[in-house]
Amino acid sequence: MKWYKVLGLVCMEGIFIKKVKVGSKSICLVNFESKLYAVSAKCPHAGADLSEGLCVRQLIVCPYHRYTYNLETGKGGEGQNDFIETYPVEVKEDGVYVGVASIWDKLRGFK
């Protein structure tokens, strides 16, 4: 797994959704109830940019058709039968890092 610094130190108050680039991926960094989540920025339904959506409870809500995805698991709402990718987040002394597993990591069973 490779870790990428995506932000400097951030204020963890309030709710925010920021789109960050991690390698070739666009990822939404979401702060909800003082916890950071990283999820794919592309909605699997029709490709909307989830960073333009809302955060309600522990869900990110797509701005186009209001599909919802759990920030922790990436699982779509009831009846959607879809999901978004989730990524581990670490807050270190110098900023916020997101971990991305390579295809080889996934094949070896590392997430």
- The yes or no reply on residue 91 touching ligand FES (CB under 6 A) is no
Element (H, E) at 39: strand 35-40
Q: Is 100 in the site for ligand FES (CB under 6 A)?
A: no
Q: Which of 60, 62, 71, 98 binds ligand FES (CB under 6 A)?
A: 62
Q: Which of 4, 45, 91, 99 binds ligand FES (CB under 6 A)?
A: 45
Number of residues that bind ligand FES (CB under 6 A): 8
Alpha helices in the chain (DSSP H): 103-107
Identify the residue among 22, 38, 41, 67 touching ligand FES (CB under 6 A).
Answer: 67
User: What length is written for the chain?
Assistant: 111
Query: CB under 6 A: which stretch of 23-31, 32-40, 42-50, 94-102 binds ligand FES?
Result: 42-50
Q: Segment contacting ligand FES (CB under 6 A): 4-12, 14-22, 44-52, 95-103?
A: 44-52
33-68 burial: b if 16+ Cβ within 10 Å, else e? eeebbbbbbbbbeeebebbebebeebbbbbeeeebb
CB of 40 to ligand FES, least distance (A): 11
Region of 50 (left: φ > 0; alpha: ψ -120 to 50; beta: rest) is alpha
